[in-house]
Amino acid sequence: MMRHSARLLILLILLLIPLSLFGADECFDCHDKYRKTNHGKLDCTACHSDAKDLPHPDKLKKPDCVSCHGDAAKMHGTSSRAEKKLACSQCHAVHNIARGAKKCVSCHPSVARKGLPSARRYLPASDLYGLTSHGKSGVTCRDCHASQGRTSDRVCVKCHENVYNVYKGTAHAKGSAAKCTECHDPHKVKTYKELGTSERMAVCVRCHSDYKGKHAWLPHTELHFMHLECSTCHSPRSEKGMVFNIRVRTDAGERNLNYDDIAAAFGTKKPARDLIDLNMDRRITSSEIVPFFDRLKRTTPGTIAISGSIVVTRAHHDYSAVQKRDKVCATCHSDGAPFYQSMYIVLPEKKGFSQMPVKGTVLASMPSSLALNFVLLGETKLRFSDIKALLRSKGQVRQEIVQDLGFRWIDIIGIFVSIMVLFFILVHIILRVVFRR
């Protein structure tokens, strides 16, 4: 009886299984070009469910991606692609997911922003986007361009909330005078730190074209704008520092030192920061910087120069300070200026650059053959604190101080000679008094 029941159960199961069941191998007899299909572990009929028998009808229904990809479908429904009625297969290689999806730039190679006061209008360089700060951080096109409408500040706030909380109450933000993207190019390869003074000023000049006329009261206006950016004065709470770039001057013109110059001088492909910071303490001393520049001078055609600028190292997004006509020059032109506490020398690397902290005393000890476009106030004259530090120091520390003093040794020698002259005059007077001659 039990054997008879088992046979009956097996027969019932066989009757319930469709006789038209077939696998992918049978599909490839006609659809050979899809033999390398890879959609996870799914078979053809998982998507083409209406192909119940072979041969199947000529026209099958379009696969319903939503049945498996519900979350992605919801995102797609709120995007600009849904507005354009784009199907999944227009962006995704559905028969071989290993190929990945199309990039946005496949259809949008150069999308102009017509509402910006810029000739370039933020054309996204598709082949360079991966090098931008957004690209390196993993920000994709759809993270910002969720719809076909204009990107607003709300998009930026998602990642830059702290910055926007400062900016939203300023004169620039009120009345939508300036949106985030009107100053910041989200597709730019260079980061803000990499921009030179003139490049940073160019952002403000797009709207404030008469900046020189507005600053006619400022002595040496042209000279100030060669080395200062607008936010140095108009954003008092921004952190500022002095940045020194290495330049090469030739008869053909002037250019920035590049990594190839350094590699040729030292005969190695090591990072530039390791070639100058020999003891790897991330602090450049005179004993390190002087040989570095001596080597460059011997091998690089032209004159090695150092160009200094005062730049904002950490921006505070309130640029509302106006009528700041501080005519006390010593506010900036003194050794007590805040940016004297933050100095960096910029070194070119294979990719990008590195910034190494450096002391003013070190730069003051540079060889006189170097062309400098700046003077560090207070660093070329001897101070009592220098003498006190020299007398109290020992060993390697004293050796570094001796080298850092640089041209101030002229002051030391002058003081010593003056003391000796006064000493001999005093001795002479005493002897005349004693012997009454």
- In terms of pTM, does the model score above 0.75? no
Task: Output DSSP code: residue 164.
Answer: H
* DSSP E strand boundaries for 332-392: 343-348, 353-357, 371-372
Cα-trace Rg, the chain: 36
Position 294 pLDDT exceeds 80: yes
83, 84, 144 from 148: Cα distances, Å: 8, 9, 11
d(CA 151, CA 372): 45
The amino acid at residue 420 is M
d(CA 141, CA 104): 7
> What residues form DSSP beta bridges with 343?
242
Query: To 10 degrees, what angle do helices 395-405 and 286-299 make?
Result: 50
Report the 10 Å Cβ neighbour count for 197: 20
Give 152-202 pLDDT, tens digit per residue: 788 888 889 998 999 988 888 876 667 888 888 777 767 777 777 788 888
* Residue carrying the six token digits 């110059």: 261
Residue 116: per-residue pLDDT: 42
Task: Output DSSP code: residue 96.
Answer: B
> What residues form DSSP beta bridges with 246?
306
- What H or E segment, with its residue span, contains residue 410? helix 409-435
The whole-number average pLDDT for the span 262-287 is 86
Give the lowest-confidence range in 29-38, 77-86, 152-161, 298-307: 77-86
Residue 106: per-residue pLDDT: 66
Give 373-392 pLDDT, tens digit per residue: 565 555 556 666 667 777 77
User: Average pLDDT of the chain?
Assistant: 76
Structure tokens at 141: 């096109």
Residue 271: asked if its preceding bond is cis (omega within 30°), the reply is no
3-class DSSP state of 85: coil
The residue among 397, 309, 371 whose CA lies nearest residue 345 is: 309
Which residue did the predictor score with more confidence, 299 or 189? 299
